[in-house]
Amino acid sequence: MPAESPRVSRLEPYLHRQEPAPTLLKTLVGLQLAGMREDAGLAQEEAARAVGFSPAKLSRIESGKGRRPPAEADVHLLLRLYEADAYEGSVLVQLLRRAGEPGWWQRYDKRLMPEWFDRLVGLQEGATGIRTFEIQYVPGLLQTHAYARAVVERGLPRAPAREVERRVDLRMRRARLLHRADAPSLWAIVDESVLLRVLGGRDVMREQLAHLVEMTGRPHVTLQVVPLDATHAAAPPLPVTYLRFGGVDLPDIVYLEHLAGAVFVEASEETEEYRAALDRLADQALNPRESVELVKGVMAERYPGE
């Protein structure tokens, strides 16, 4: 076997992931092909023309976007064009095949999983670290079943009961991510108003806040609360999810959701701005110990048990 290139040594660990991570692997395959093209001294348009692709097609392959991975035949064309090392090429093709393994979320119908949401869930499944800021609701990965139902019913007041349950089921399935042996770290920052806003009734809120306290007992879960009297806190005007992947090959990605869909911020200079904003907010929030004590205090004062 030929000596392994530095690129291969970085790729091989991804072949042994326990959970399917098709979104992560599609992104990784695309990034590696883009790196090979650049190493070959070819512009994207030149490479596309050489193998009979449109520039748009090659751009989609290199970005790793879309529901399906690129065709294996197309990847072989690119590997030949870039004169890729045979062993490196074989590892990349193995990654491509694993990228074709369906994730659990891809079994839900497309009405519940539009393409942007499919990508978010897939990226979260492959992330090593998730940072999030929420100004209105408890972060989805930390929601209880009853609280999640209240959130869905509030957002979709006319949805039939079956659809509500399917959406709640999807949210609960996503939350299992934090119970995996290789769970990512979750660092959640929430506004104090999230603890005070009653969704589903006081029993639901008591259960939800107790769940928050329980989850912070896990070593990979950190919660910080921005108190209402933190007048100088530089909070973003909308929820932010910041994803890290723990490898030099995979850049950080920021997810921003809005009413009509979502935006993925991927340019490093822009994601760095969001990272810095979350750092500043964490500095201005209560520390993790103080935050848990605040959650317990709110639970005892506003949602006492019988």
Q: According to the model, what pLDDT value does residue 116 have? A: 87
3-class DSSP assignment, residue 129? strand
Contact of 288 with 238, CB cutoff 8 Å? no
Contact of 213 with 225, CB cutoff 8 Å? no
The Cα 4–Cα 10 span in angstroms is: 10
Q: Which residue has the tokens 């995996």?
A: 180
3-class DSSP assignment, residue 185? strand
With a cut of 50, list the residues of the chain below it in pLDDT.
1-4
One-letter identity of residue 208: Q
Contact of 294 with 227, CB cutoff 8 Å? yes
Strands (E), 143-227: 185-191, 221-226
Task: Please state, as a whole number, how many other Cβ atoms lie within 10 Å of the Cβ of residue 276.
Answer: 11
pLDDT digits (tens, 9 = 90+) for 68-93: 889 999 999 999 999 988 888 998 99
Strands 261-265 and 221-226: unpaired
Q: According to the model, what pLDDT value does residue 270 have? A: 94
Q: According to the model, what pLDDT value does residue 8 have? A: 65
Main-chain phi, psi angles of 243, to 5 degrees = -110, 135
Contact of 24 with 120, CB cutoff 8 Å? no
CA angle in degrees (0–180, nearest 5) for 139-143-147: 115
Q: According to the model, what pLDDT value does residue 214 have? A: 98
- Record the pTM: 0.86
- Among 225, 221, 216, 224, CA closest to 193: 225
Q: Which residue has the tokens 């959701």?
A: 257
115 contact partners, CB below 8 Å, separation of at least 6: 66, 67
Q: According to the model, what pLDDT value does residue 231 have? A: 63
Contact of 59 with 53, CB cutoff 8 Å? no
pLDDT digits (tens, 9 = 90+) for 246-303: 765 788 999 998 877 789 999 999 999 999 999 999 999 999 999 999 999 999 999 9
Q: According to the model, what pLDDT value does residue 131 have? A: 97
Distance of CA 278 to the CA centre of its chain: 16
CA angle in degrees (0–180, nearest 5) for 46-52-54: 70
The structural architecture, per CATH, of the domain 110-139+174-303 is 2-Layer Sandwich (3.30)
Classify domain 13-100 at the CATH topology level.
Answer: 434 Repressor (Amino-terminal Domain) (1.10.260)
| Domain residue extents for the chain | 13-100, 110-139+174-303
Task: Please state, as a whole number, how many other Cβ atoms lie within 10 Å of the Cβ of residue 188.
Answer: 24
Question: What size, in residues, is the chain?
Answer: 306
